[in-house]
Structure formats: C-alpha cells, structure tokens
Amino acid sequence: MNFLSSKWLMVTFLALGFLFFGNVNANAQNTSFAGKITPMIELRDSFAPGTAKYDTVQDAIDYLEVLESNFNANPNYLRDLADTTGKTAFESDKIRRTHPSILANYSAAQLAEFQAEINESNSATNQNPQAAQKTQWILDANAY
C-alpha cells in the first residue's frame, strides 16, 4: 500500500511540475530594452550636444528604439533579424560604436597616428579589416 501511494504522489508532483514549468511566458525571457536604452542615454548626456560622440551614441539610442518598436509589433523580430543578418541585433555596428575604447578621449597625436594607420591600410593590402574599421570609428567619433 505504501508503494502505491508514493508512486501516485510522485506522478502527481511530476504532472504539477510539467504544468508549472510548461506555462512560462516566452516574452519574459527577452532582453529588456529599457535596460539597454537608459545607460545609453546616460552615456550620451556625458558628451556635449552636437559633438560626434554625442551623435554616435544618439544613433545607437535611435537604433535601440526602432528595435523595441519592431519587437513590440512582432515578438519574433529579433530572431528574424539574426537569421537574416547572421548576428544578433545587439551586435550591430551602431551598438559596437559606443564601446568605451572608441568613445575615449584621444590626443591630437594619437588621432594623427590613427589616420596614418588608416591611410596605410587603404594603400596596402589590409591584413586586419576589423582593426581598420575600429580605427575609422575612433576617427569618426573624434571628427567634430
């Protein structure tokens, strides 16, 4: 008698477990856009309006707001975007341009060195296109 009651108790708890864990809202697992937009706004506000760094971060904020809008209209939007581009929405160049190493303050001499590197990579076979791209982003962020 004890064995039968323990087996049915186990089956009952197993069924309750399936009901509990099987009824999870998939949207709750998605990344919060507010958690990404708010730090970007704080970062943007640390730069003077009208500067290239301010504009770079504002572009990222605009991009995140479009992502949020599209996601709210279609919950599969982020997955579909990753399927078509081959990378997640948060690996976008607009987001990557806000990295601290790109938005750092560089001296005029350092910027001149970066420009020389870009000129050299443009005139020769570029062995490291990612490094050249990052260097160009640094120059763009310090353009005005």
Residues 38-82 have pLDDT tens digits of 999 999 999 999 999 999 999 999 999 999 999 999 988 988 988
User: 122 falls in which pLDDT band (50, 70, 90)?
Assistant: confident
Q: What is the model's pTM?
A: 0.71
Mean pLDDT, the chain, whole residue set: 84
- DSSP-derived letter for residue 125 is -
Give backbone dihedrals phi and psi of 67, rounded to 5 degrees, phi first.
-60, -45
- Orientation of helix 52-73 relative to helix 129-141, angle to 10°: 110
Q: What is the pLDDT of residue 31?
A: 56
Per-domain boundaries in the chain: 30-98, 101-144
Higher-pLDDT residue of 98, 86:
98
pLDDT of residue 55: 96
